[in-house]
Protein backbone atom coordinates (compact mmCIF):
# COMPACT_ATOMS: atom_id res chain seq x y z
CA UNK A 1 0.00 0.00 0.00
CA UNK A 2 2.80 2.44 0.85
CA UNK A 3 4.50 1.76 -2.49
CA UNK A 4 1.21 2.47 -4.29
CA UNK A 5 0.88 5.82 -2.51
CA UNK A 6 4.49 6.71 -3.33
CA UNK A 7 3.84 6.02 -7.01
CA UNK A 8 0.66 8.14 -6.99
CA UNK A 9 2.50 11.01 -5.28
CA UNK A 10 5.40 10.78 -7.74
CA UNK A 11 3.01 10.77 -10.72
CA UNK A 12 1.21 13.84 -9.32
CA UNK A 13 4.55 15.63 -9.02
CA UNK A 14 5.32 14.80 -12.67
CA UNK A 15 1.90 16.02 -13.76
CA UNK A 16 2.63 19.37 -12.09
CA UNK A 17 4.97 20.01 -15.02
CA UNK A 18 2.24 19.46 -17.63
CA UNK A 19 1.07 22.90 -18.75
CA UNK A 20 -2.38 23.65 -20.13
CA UNK A 21 -1.62 25.23 -23.55
CA UNK A 22 -4.39 27.83 -23.27
CA UNK A 23 -4.16 28.92 -19.64
CA UNK A 24 -0.40 28.57 -19.32
CA UNK A 25 -0.71 26.93 -15.88
CA UNK A 26 -0.04 23.36 -14.76
CA UNK A 27 -2.94 20.92 -14.88
CA UNK A 28 -2.50 20.29 -11.15
CA UNK A 29 -2.69 24.01 -10.26
CA UNK A 30 -5.87 24.27 -12.33
CA UNK A 31 -7.48 21.34 -10.51
CA UNK A 32 -7.73 19.30 -13.69
CA UNK A 33 -6.31 16.14 -12.06
CA UNK A 34 -9.28 14.81 -10.07
CA UNK A 35 -7.62 11.57 -8.93
CA UNK A 36 -4.70 9.21 -9.53
CA UNK A 37 -5.07 5.49 -8.83
CA UNK A 38 -2.19 3.02 -9.05
CA UNK A 39 -2.87 -0.73 -8.65
CA UNK A 40 -0.62 -3.74 -9.26
CA UNK A 41 -1.15 -5.08 -12.77
CA UNK A 42 -1.14 -8.70 -11.54
CA UNK A 43 -0.02 -10.70 -8.51
CA UNK A 44 2.95 -12.20 -10.35
CA UNK A 45 3.93 -9.01 -12.20
CA UNK A 46 6.66 -7.65 -9.95
CA UNK A 47 6.83 -3.86 -10.23
CA UNK A 48 4.09 -3.58 -12.87
CA UNK A 49 1.28 -1.14 -12.14
CA UNK A 50 -1.80 0.10 -13.91
CA UNK A 51 -2.12 3.85 -13.34
CA UNK A 52 -5.45 5.58 -13.98
CA UNK A 53 -5.43 9.38 -14.17
CA UNK A 54 -8.83 11.06 -13.93
CA UNK A 55 -8.67 14.31 -15.90
CA UNK A 56 -11.32 17.00 -15.78
CA UNK A 57 -11.09 19.43 -18.70
CA UNK A 58 -12.34 22.98 -18.31
CA UNK A 59 -14.92 22.59 -21.09
CA UNK A 60 -16.53 19.59 -22.71
CA UNK A 61 -15.02 18.81 -26.10
CA UNK A 62 -11.93 20.94 -25.44
CA UNK A 63 -10.05 21.22 -28.79
CA UNK A 64 -6.73 20.66 -26.97
CA UNK A 65 -7.84 17.56 -25.06
CA UNK A 66 -5.66 15.28 -27.20
CA UNK A 67 -2.62 17.49 -26.63
CA UNK A 68 -3.18 17.48 -22.86
CA UNK A 69 -3.79 13.73 -22.62
CA UNK A 70 -0.68 13.01 -24.70
CA UNK A 71 1.39 15.13 -22.33
CA UNK A 72 -0.12 13.34 -19.32
CA UNK A 73 0.66 9.97 -20.87
CA UNK A 74 4.23 11.09 -21.40
CA UNK A 75 4.54 12.28 -17.80
CA UNK A 76 3.29 8.95 -16.44
CA UNK A 77 5.50 6.96 -18.78
CA UNK A 78 8.55 8.89 -17.56
CA UNK A 79 8.29 7.29 -14.09
CA UNK A 80 11.61 5.43 -13.75
CA UNK A 81 11.22 2.88 -10.97
CA UNK A 82 8.30 0.79 -12.09
CA UNK A 83 6.66 -0.39 -15.27
CA UNK A 84 3.50 1.66 -15.46
CA UNK A 85 0.62 1.31 -17.89
CA UNK A 86 -1.26 4.64 -18.00
CA UNK A 87 -5.01 4.92 -18.48
CA UNK A 88 -6.50 8.38 -18.97
CA UNK A 89 -10.15 8.94 -18.10
CA UNK A 90 -11.35 12.30 -19.42
CA UNK A 91 -14.42 14.24 -18.32
CA UNK A 92 -15.26 17.90 -17.84
CA UNK A 93 -15.42 20.03 -14.70
CA UNK A 94 -18.67 20.55 -12.89
CA UNK A 95 -20.23 23.96 -13.24
CA UNK A 96 -19.40 24.87 -9.64
CA UNK A 97 -15.75 23.83 -10.01
CA UNK A 98 -15.40 25.75 -13.27
CA UNK A 99 -17.02 28.83 -11.70
CA UNK A 100 -14.51 28.70 -8.84
CA UNK A 101 -11.58 28.30 -11.24
CA UNK A 102 -12.65 31.23 -13.42
CA UNK A 103 -13.26 33.38 -10.32
CA UNK A 104 -9.72 32.61 -9.10
CA UNK A 105 -8.20 33.44 -12.48
CA UNK A 106 -10.14 36.69 -12.74
CA UNK A 107 -9.14 37.65 -9.21
CA UNK A 108 -5.51 37.01 -10.10
CA UNK A 109 -5.77 39.15 -13.20
CA UNK A 110 -8.34 41.74 -11.97
CA UNK A 111 -7.71 44.21 -14.78
CA UNK A 112 -5.51 44.96 -17.76
CA UNK A 113 -2.68 42.49 -17.06
CA UNK A 114 -0.12 44.40 -19.12
CA UNK A 115 -0.05 47.41 -16.80
CA UNK A 116 0.86 45.56 -13.63
CA UNK A 117 4.21 46.32 -11.97
CA UNK A 118 6.91 43.89 -12.98
CA UNK A 119 5.28 42.78 -16.24
CA UNK A 120 8.02 41.98 -18.74
CA UNK A 121 5.88 41.76 -21.88
CA UNK A 122 7.28 43.82 -24.75
CA UNK A 123 4.41 45.58 -26.53
CA UNK A 124 4.67 46.78 -30.12
CA UNK A 125 1.82 48.71 -31.75
CA UNK A 126 2.04 48.52 -35.54
CA UNK A 127 0.71 51.77 -37.02
CA UNK A 128 0.36 53.46 -40.39
CA UNK A 129 -0.88 56.78 -41.64
CA UNK A 130 -3.14 55.29 -44.30
CA UNK A 131 -4.54 51.95 -45.34
CA UNK A 132 -3.10 49.70 -48.01
CA UNK A 133 0.55 49.92 -46.98
CA UNK A 134 0.71 46.35 -45.65
CA UNK A 135 0.50 47.09 -41.93
CA UNK A 136 -1.49 43.93 -41.13
CA UNK A 137 0.82 41.79 -43.25
CA UNK A 138 3.81 43.18 -41.34
CA UNK A 139 2.04 42.48 -38.03
CA UNK A 140 1.18 38.89 -38.98
CA UNK A 141 4.63 38.02 -40.26
CA UNK A 142 6.38 39.72 -37.36
CA UNK A 143 4.19 37.87 -34.84
CA UNK A 144 4.86 34.55 -36.58
CA UNK A 145 8.58 35.32 -36.54
CA UNK A 146 8.61 36.01 -32.81
CA UNK A 147 6.75 32.75 -32.16
CA UNK A 148 9.10 30.77 -34.40
CA UNK A 149 12.07 32.24 -32.51
CA UNK A 150 10.66 30.80 -29.28
CA UNK A 151 8.94 33.83 -27.79
CA UNK A 152 5.53 33.40 -26.18
CA UNK A 153 3.67 35.68 -28.60
CA UNK A 154 0.23 37.28 -28.60
CA UNK A 155 -1.46 39.56 -31.13
CA UNK A 156 -4.54 41.76 -30.95
CA UNK A 157 -6.35 42.84 -34.10
CA UNK A 158 -7.13 46.39 -32.99
CA UNK A 159 -8.35 47.39 -36.45
CA UNK A 160 -12.02 46.87 -35.62
CA UNK A 161 -13.40 48.15 -38.92
CA UNK A 162 -10.82 46.50 -41.17
CA UNK A 163 -9.75 43.39 -39.25
CA UNK A 164 -7.64 40.96 -41.24
CA UNK A 165 -5.50 38.87 -38.86
CA UNK A 166 -7.93 35.91 -38.80
CA UNK A 167 -7.59 35.48 -42.56
CA UNK A 168 -3.81 35.98 -42.51
CA UNK A 169 -3.45 33.24 -39.88
CA UNK A 170 -6.10 30.94 -41.36
CA UNK A 171 -8.35 31.16 -38.29
CA UNK A 172 -11.96 30.07 -38.73
CA UNK A 173 -12.90 29.30 -35.12
CA UNK A 174 -14.20 31.37 -32.24
CA UNK A 175 -12.38 31.84 -28.92
CA UNK A 176 -13.38 29.40 -26.18
CA UNK A 177 -15.59 31.09 -23.60
CA UNK A 178 -14.95 30.03 -20.00
CA UNK A 179 -17.84 31.62 -18.15
CA UNK A 180 -17.11 35.06 -19.56
CA UNK A 181 -13.34 34.68 -19.82
CA UNK A 182 -12.10 34.14 -23.36
CA UNK A 183 -9.25 31.90 -24.46
CA UNK A 184 -7.38 33.38 -27.46
CA UNK A 185 -7.20 31.25 -30.59
CA UNK A 186 -3.69 29.94 -31.27
CA UNK A 187 -2.47 29.72 -34.86
CA UNK A 188 1.10 29.21 -36.08
CA UNK A 189 2.25 29.57 -32.48
CA UNK A 190 0.60 32.98 -31.96
CA UNK A 191 -2.26 33.68 -29.51
CA UNK A 192 -4.81 35.77 -31.40
CA UNK A 193 -7.96 37.76 -30.72
CA UNK A 194 -9.98 39.73 -33.26
CA UNK A 195 -13.51 40.98 -33.63
CA UNK A 196 -13.45 38.99 -36.87
CA UNK A 197 -13.62 35.76 -34.86
CA UNK A 198 -17.09 36.47 -33.53
CA UNK A 199 -20.49 35.86 -35.03
CA UNK A 200 -21.85 38.70 -37.12
CA UNK A 201 -18.42 40.15 -37.87
CA UNK A 202 -19.04 39.67 -41.58
CA UNK A 203 -21.45 42.62 -41.48
CA UNK A 204 -20.42 46.28 -41.47
CA UNK A 205 -19.35 47.42 -38.00
CA UNK A 206 -20.71 50.84 -37.10
CA UNK A 207 -19.20 51.77 -33.74
CA UNK A 208 -18.48 55.15 -32.23
CA UNK A 209 -15.32 55.97 -30.29
CA UNK A 210 -16.42 54.90 -26.76
CA UNK A 211 -17.38 51.47 -27.98
CA UNK A 212 -14.06 51.11 -29.79
CA UNK A 213 -12.25 51.90 -26.55
CA UNK A 214 -14.37 49.35 -24.68
CA UNK A 215 -13.52 46.68 -27.26
CA UNK A 216 -9.80 47.19 -26.62
CA UNK A 217 -10.33 47.07 -22.85
CA UNK A 218 -12.18 43.77 -23.26
CA UNK A 219 -9.45 42.33 -25.48
CA UNK A 220 -6.92 43.20 -22.78
CA UNK A 221 -8.80 42.29 -19.60
CA UNK A 222 -11.42 39.68 -20.61
CA UNK A 223 -8.99 37.44 -22.49
CA UNK A 224 -6.64 35.09 -20.67
CA UNK A 225 -3.25 35.90 -22.18
CA UNK A 226 -1.02 34.35 -19.55
CA UNK A 227 2.33 36.13 -19.51
CA UNK A 228 3.48 36.50 -23.13
CA UNK A 229 6.96 37.71 -23.96
CA UNK A 230 5.66 39.81 -26.85
CA UNK A 231 2.30 41.46 -27.59
CA UNK A 232 1.63 42.97 -31.01
CA UNK A 233 -1.28 45.25 -31.85
CA UNK A 234 -2.43 45.76 -35.42
CA UNK A 235 -3.79 49.31 -35.21
CA UNK A 236 -6.32 50.94 -37.51
CA UNK A 237 -4.80 53.40 -40.00
CA UNK A 238 -4.46 57.02 -38.91
CA UNK A 239 -4.56 58.72 -35.54
CA UNK A 240 -8.15 58.07 -34.50
CA UNK A 241 -9.83 56.73 -31.38
CA UNK A 242 -8.09 53.35 -31.28
CA UNK A 243 -4.59 54.82 -31.41
CA UNK A 244 -5.45 57.09 -28.49
CA UNK A 245 -7.06 54.19 -26.59
CA UNK A 246 -3.94 52.05 -27.02
CA UNK A 247 -1.76 54.87 -25.70
CA UNK A 248 -4.00 55.28 -22.66
CA UNK A 249 -4.37 51.56 -21.92
CA UNK A 250 -0.78 50.56 -22.75
CA UNK A 251 1.55 53.49 -22.04
CA UNK A 252 4.51 51.08 -22.16
CA UNK A 253 3.78 50.19 -25.80
CA UNK A 254 6.31 51.05 -28.49
CA UNK A 255 5.10 52.30 -31.87
CA UNK A 256 6.36 50.85 -35.15
CA UNK A 257 5.35 52.96 -38.16
CA UNK A 258 4.79 51.23 -41.51
CA UNK A 259 4.94 53.18 -44.76
CA UNK A 260 5.57 52.68 -48.45
CA UNK A 261 8.15 54.67 -50.46
CA UNK A 262 5.91 57.22 -52.17
CA UNK A 263 5.37 60.69 -50.60
CA UNK A 264 1.58 60.28 -50.51
CA UNK A 265 2.07 57.47 -47.97
CA UNK A 266 5.19 58.63 -46.12
CA UNK A 267 3.91 62.16 -45.44
CA UNK A 268 0.80 60.72 -43.77
CA UNK A 269 2.83 58.08 -41.93
CA UNK A 270 4.72 60.84 -40.14
CA UNK A 271 1.47 61.95 -38.52
CA UNK A 272 0.89 58.52 -36.98
CA UNK A 273 4.33 58.76 -35.35
CA UNK A 274 3.72 62.28 -34.11
CA UNK A 275 1.02 60.87 -31.83
CA UNK A 276 3.96 60.22 -29.48
CA UNK A 277 4.19 64.00 -28.87
CA UNK A 278 0.81 63.89 -27.12
CA UNK A 279 0.70 60.45 -25.51
CA UNK A 280 3.27 58.47 -23.47
CA UNK A 281 4.42 56.18 -26.25
CA UNK A 282 7.83 55.83 -27.81
CA UNK A 283 8.25 55.41 -31.56
CA UNK A 284 10.65 52.52 -31.92
CA UNK A 285 11.28 52.68 -35.64
CA UNK A 286 10.04 52.73 -39.21
CA UNK A 287 9.38 49.84 -41.61
CA UNK A 288 9.27 50.61 -45.32
CA UNK A 289 7.09 48.07 -47.12
CA UNK A 290 6.95 47.39 -50.88
CA UNK A 291 10.32 49.09 -51.27
CA UNK A 292 11.13 47.39 -54.54
CA UNK A 293 10.31 44.46 -56.81
CA UNK A 294 13.24 42.31 -57.82
CA UNK A 295 13.19 41.14 -61.44
CA UNK A 296 16.12 39.25 -62.95
CA UNK A 297 18.48 40.69 -60.36
CA UNK A 298 17.29 44.28 -60.85
CA UNK A 299 15.44 46.15 -58.11
CA UNK A 300 12.49 47.96 -59.66
CA UNK A 301 11.30 50.91 -57.51
CA UNK A 302 7.65 50.65 -58.51
CA UNK A 303 6.42 53.06 -55.81
CA UNK A 304 9.38 55.41 -55.90
CA UNK A 305 11.94 55.48 -53.13
CA UNK A 306 13.00 57.23 -49.96
CA UNK A 307 9.69 57.23 -48.09
CA UNK A 308 10.91 55.24 -45.11
CA UNK A 309 14.01 57.39 -44.74
CA UNK A 310 11.92 60.58 -44.91
CA UNK A 311 9.64 59.31 -42.15
CA UNK A 312 12.65 58.30 -40.05
CA UNK A 313 14.34 61.69 -40.41
CA UNK A 314 11.21 63.76 -39.76
CA UNK A 315 10.23 61.77 -36.67
CA UNK A 316 13.79 61.86 -35.32
CA UNK A 317 13.81 65.65 -35.63
CA UNK A 318 10.30 66.14 -34.23
CA UNK A 319 10.60 63.72 -31.30
CA UNK A 320 14.15 64.50 -30.31
CA UNK A 321 15.47 60.95 -30.31
CA UNK A 322 16.57 58.45 -32.94
CA UNK A 323 13.75 56.81 -34.88
CA UNK A 324 15.62 54.50 -37.26
CA UNK A 325 14.53 53.00 -40.55
CA UNK A 326 14.64 49.41 -39.34
CA UNK A 327 14.11 47.53 -42.59
CA UNK A 328 12.98 47.79 -46.20
CA UNK A 329 10.67 44.98 -47.25
CA UNK A 330 10.51 43.99 -50.92
CA UNK A 331 7.28 43.60 -52.88
CA UNK A 332 6.95 39.80 -52.96
CA UNK A 333 3.81 38.19 -54.47
CA UNK A 334 4.29 35.19 -52.17
CA UNK A 335 3.53 37.35 -49.14
CA UNK A 336 0.04 38.00 -50.50
CA UNK A 337 -0.51 34.48 -51.81
CA UNK A 338 0.46 32.59 -48.67
CA UNK A 339 -1.13 35.20 -46.42
CA UNK A 340 -4.50 34.90 -48.12
CA UNK A 341 -4.13 31.13 -47.86
CA UNK A 342 -3.79 31.45 -44.09
CA UNK A 343 -0.05 31.05 -43.51
CA UNK A 344 2.39 33.91 -42.79
CA UNK A 345 4.96 34.02 -45.58
CA UNK A 346 7.90 33.92 -43.16
CA UNK A 347 7.01 30.30 -42.29
CA UNK A 348 7.39 27.18 -44.36
CA UNK A 349 4.58 24.61 -44.61
CA UNK A 350 5.78 22.95 -41.38
CA UNK A 351 5.67 26.22 -39.43
CA UNK A 352 9.43 26.73 -39.24
CA UNK A 353 10.96 30.14 -39.86
CA UNK A 354 12.44 30.35 -43.34
CA UNK A 355 16.20 30.80 -43.30
CA UNK A 356 16.39 33.02 -46.39
CA UNK A 357 14.49 35.80 -48.13
CA UNK A 358 11.52 37.18 -46.24
CA UNK A 359 12.19 34.94 -43.24
CA UNK A 360 15.72 36.28 -42.83
CA UNK A 361 14.51 39.88 -43.15
CA UNK A 362 11.81 39.52 -40.49
CA UNK A 363 14.18 37.68 -38.17
CA UNK A 364 16.49 40.69 -38.33
CA UNK A 365 13.56 43.04 -37.62
CA UNK A 366 12.43 40.97 -34.63
CA UNK A 367 15.95 40.89 -33.20
CA UNK A 368 16.26 44.67 -33.55
CA UNK A 369 12.98 45.22 -31.72
CA UNK A 370 13.94 42.91 -28.85
CA UNK A 371 17.47 44.31 -28.53
Under 8 Å between Cβ of 131 and 267: no
Check whether 27 is labelled as a binding-site residue.
Answer: no
Check whether 129 is labelled as a binding-site residue.
Answer: yes
Check whether 136 is labelled as a binding-site residue.
Answer: yes
Alpha-carbon gap, residue 238 to 102, rounded angstroms? 37
Bridge pairing between strands 176-178 and 181-183 = antiparallel
Check whether 299 is labelled as a binding-site residue.
Answer: no
| Residues in CB range of 25: below 8 A, 6 or more apart | 19, 226
C-alpha of 66 from chain center: 21
Check whether 134 is labelled as a binding-site residue.
Answer: yes
Using alpha carbons, select from 39, 36, 1 the residue that is nearest to residue 15: 36
Alpha-carbon gap, residue 107 to 166, rounded angstroms? 30
Check whether 92 is labelled as a binding-site residue.
Answer: no
Alpha-carbon gap, residue 284 to 319, rounded angstroms? 11
**DSSP characters for 268-303?**
HHHHHHHGGGTSS-EEEEEEE-S--EEETTEEE-TT
Alpha-carbon gap, residue 254 to 120, rounded angstroms? 13
Check whether 132 is labelled as a binding-site residue.
Answer: yes
The residues pairing with 347 across neighbouring beta strands, listed in sequence order, are 353
Task: Report the chain's terminal Cα–Cα distance, integer Å.
Answer: 56
In this structure, the chain runs to a length of 371
Check whether 357 is labelled as a binding-site residue.
Answer: no
Cα 99 to Cα 27, 105, 177, 260, 326: the distances in Å are 16, 10, 12, 49, 47
Binding residues: 129-136
Binding residues for ATP: 129-136
Amino acid sequence: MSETREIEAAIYERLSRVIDPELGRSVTDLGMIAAINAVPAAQDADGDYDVTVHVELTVEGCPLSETITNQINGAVASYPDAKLTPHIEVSSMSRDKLDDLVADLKAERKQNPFNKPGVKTRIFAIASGKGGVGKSSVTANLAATFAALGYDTAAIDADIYGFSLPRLFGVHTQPTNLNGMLMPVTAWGVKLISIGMFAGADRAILWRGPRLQRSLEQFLSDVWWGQPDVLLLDLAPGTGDMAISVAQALPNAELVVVTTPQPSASDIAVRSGLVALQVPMKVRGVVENMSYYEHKGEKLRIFGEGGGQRVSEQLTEALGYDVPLMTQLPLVPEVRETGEAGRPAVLDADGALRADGIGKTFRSLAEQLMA
